[in-house]
């Protein structure tokens, strides 16, 4: 059985070492913070992420405290 993957928008609040970021999302009126890493395509294409950027995340149903950044909104 495949894990469910959810896509959600968030805002980068902090940059961590090794291409990881803390992203703040809002779920049903509550704000949560997730530790997220960059997707492979974003690393290959040298997409830069800075604090304050709006991004799209993929969150896995197995571990909802971590995510993967798949898109940066212009």
Tens-digit pLDDT profile for residues 22-71: 999 999 999 999 999 999 999 999 999 999 999 999 999 999 899 999 99
Contact 70, 17 (CB under 8 A): no
Contact 59, 27 (CB under 8 A): no
pLDDT for 1 equals 78
pTM of the predicted structure, to 2 decimals = 0.90
DSSP-based three-state secondary structure for 28? coil
DSSP-based three-state secondary structure for 3? coil
Beta bridge partners of 42: none
- Better-predicted residue by pLDDT, 72 or 64: 72
Cα 35 from Cα 28, distance rounded (Å): 19
Q: What are phi and psi of 72, to 5 degrees?
A: -110, 125
């Amino acid at each position: 059985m495949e894990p469910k993957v959810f896509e959600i928008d968030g805002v980068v609040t902090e940059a961590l070492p090794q291409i990881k970021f803390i992203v703040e999302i809002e779920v049903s009126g509550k704000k949560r913070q997730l530790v997220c890493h960059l997707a492979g395509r974003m690393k290959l294409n040298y997409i830069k992420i800075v604090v304050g950027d709006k991004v799209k995340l993929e969150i896995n149903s197995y571990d909802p405290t971590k995510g993967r950044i798949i898109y940066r909104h212009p």
